[in-house]
């Protein structure tokens, strides 16, 4: 016969967990660990940035070569490198804008020297490309070039299918990155030091596909693979090669894209991105996303939904953008047409547009966060029926399970907040 003490002891003991509890706890622990490990390099960099600045001039050399420095990311990178005391070789096709950025750098940073090379990178794969390449080699000959930033590229005309694209233009862009790197690399090899930064695209790395921007994303994937290979080949020669893959930066190239408007909380300014990007030069592996905003978006994209769901969402978004383009306009003018149509629609029916956008975005958010709702529901029902022990101190894995639930719940709230920002942005 059980005594009163035995009954009290029996009532204090937690109910045994079902067979599936430990596997789910391990899965939650693995998920939390994976997310944490992805963020650790960026937390480490934040600690590094509290120390003295990354002295690129001392580590690699007195000069840096920047392609496409007249606007956007390239301009911000050139200004940031000049702020850190590096002399600059500026490469672009526009003589007037080259002179303007050169004068700006010298006026802001009196001790910085600049050289300009007029070079249309789209001519690299043609008969006219040999002369500009020779000019570039002559410009860097004898200079202590320690940093190369390959930023120049071709803006995608809009949401288009492959048969509507001039494929040769994208072949030239890939060859331009290769040829410019080949022109600067021999000097770095001779000095056994240097850093090469190739600007890629996070959308070609973090998500399974980028429909209607397929060739553009594929060229950026080439840049990433090109960087990985060179990183391995030249690490033993003192040369660090890195592909920096941003999401959206507030430049003219992306200002009218649907994703850039909807994900405005995660869009970095050129100046902020350049400061983070220069801080990453010579650090980390062959692929990185310097901006913390972009890294958070990368993690969200990787964990938001299965690949086929992301494919459907992006295709729907890009087809929506395509419908705003006038059929009688050329592909080259697609972005400007999209901007005009967007502004006109907002003036005519701003309320209905905002209402439709928030309904669609909330539906998409709820669908992509289905795992959060399921985990929360299971954990709530489990605690109510005694499946989950009340005394969590008896097993540390229980903490991971509850942490996973809380993280998913918070993540869901964040996505709702983002959807609300999209509505206000309309």
Provide the annotated active-site residues.
216
User: Shortest CA distance to 186 belongs to which of 141, 154, 151, 155?
Assistant: 141
pLDDT digits (tens, 9 = 90+) for 10-36: 555 556 667 777 888 888 788 777 766
Homologous superfamily in CATH for domain 52-303: NAD(P)-binding Rossmann-like Domain (3.40.50.720)
pTM score, two decimals?
A: 0.66
Average pLDDT of span 216-240: 94
Residue 331 has pLDDT above 50, yes or no: no
pLDDT digits (tens, 9 = 90+) for 381-392: 544 444 444 444
Three-state DSSP class for residue 91 = strand
pLDDT digits (tens, 9 = 90+) for 146-166: 999 999 766 666 778 888 877
Contact 284, 242 (CB under 8 A): yes
State the Cα angle at 80 between 77 and 86, rounded to 5°. 100
State the Cα angle at 80 between 68 and 247, rounded to 5°. 60
Domain ranges of the chain: 52-303, 305-425
Average pLDDT of span 311-340: 58
pLDDT digits (tens, 9 = 90+) for 174-204: 888 999 999 999 999 999 999 999 998 877 7
Instruction: Specify the higher pLDDT residue, 272 or 386.
Output: 272
β-partners of residue 239 are 194
Instruction: Specify the higher pLDDT residue, 287 or 253.
Output: 287
């Amino acid at each position: 016969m059980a005594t009163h003490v035995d009954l009290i002891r029996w009532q204090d003991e937690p109910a045994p967990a079902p067979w599936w509890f430990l596997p789910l706890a391990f899965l939650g622990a693995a998920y939390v660990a994976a997310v944490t490990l992805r963020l650790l390099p960026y937390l480490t960099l934040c600690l590094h940035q509290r120390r003295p600045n990354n002295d690129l001039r001392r580590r690699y050399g007195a000069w840096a070569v920047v392609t496409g420095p007249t606007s956007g990311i390239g301009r911000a990178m050139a200004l940031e490198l000049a702020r850190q005391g590096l002399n600059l070789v500026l490469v672009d096709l526009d003589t007037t804008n080259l002179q303007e950025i050169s004068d700006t750098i010298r006026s802001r940073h009196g001790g910085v020297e600049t050289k300009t090379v007029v070079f249309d990178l789209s001519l690299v794969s043609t008969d006219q490309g040999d002369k500009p390449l020779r000019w570039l080699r002559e410009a860097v000959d004898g200079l202590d070039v320690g940093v190369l930033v390959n930023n120049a590229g071709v803006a995608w005309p809009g949401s288009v299918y492959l048969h509507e694209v001039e494929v040769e233009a994208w072949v030239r862009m890939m060859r331009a990155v290769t040829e410019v790197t080949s022109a600067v690399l021999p000097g770095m090899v001779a000095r056994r030091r240097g850093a090469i930064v190739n600007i890629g695209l996070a959308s070609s790395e973090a998500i399974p596909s980028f429909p209607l921007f397929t060739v553009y994303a594929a060229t950026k994937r080439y840049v990433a693979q090109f960087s990985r290979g060179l990183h391995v080949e030249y690490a033993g020669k003192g040369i660090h090669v890195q592909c920096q893959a941003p999401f959206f930066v507030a430049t003219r190239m992306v200002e009218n894209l649907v994703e850039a408007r909807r994900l405005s909380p995660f869009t970095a300014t050129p100046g902020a991105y350049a400061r983070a990007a220069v801080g990453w030069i010579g650090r980390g592996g062959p692929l990185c996303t310097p901006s913390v905003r972009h890294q958070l978006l990368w993690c969200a994209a990787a964990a938001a939904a299965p690949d086929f769901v992301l494919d459907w969402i992006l295709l729907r978004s890009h087809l929506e953008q395509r419908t705003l383009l006038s059929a009688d306009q050329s592909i080259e003018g697609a972005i400007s047409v999209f901007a005009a149509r967007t502004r006109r629609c907002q003036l005519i029916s701003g309320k209905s547009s905002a209402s439709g956008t928030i309904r669609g975005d909330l539906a998409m958010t709820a669908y992509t966060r289905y795992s959060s709702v399921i985990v929360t529901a299971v954990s709530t029902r489990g605690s109510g029926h005694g499946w989950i022990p009340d005394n969590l101190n008896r097993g540390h894995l229980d903490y991971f399970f509850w942490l996973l639930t809380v993280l998913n719940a918070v993540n869901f709230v964040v996505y709702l907040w983002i959807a609300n920002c999209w509505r206000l942005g309309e």
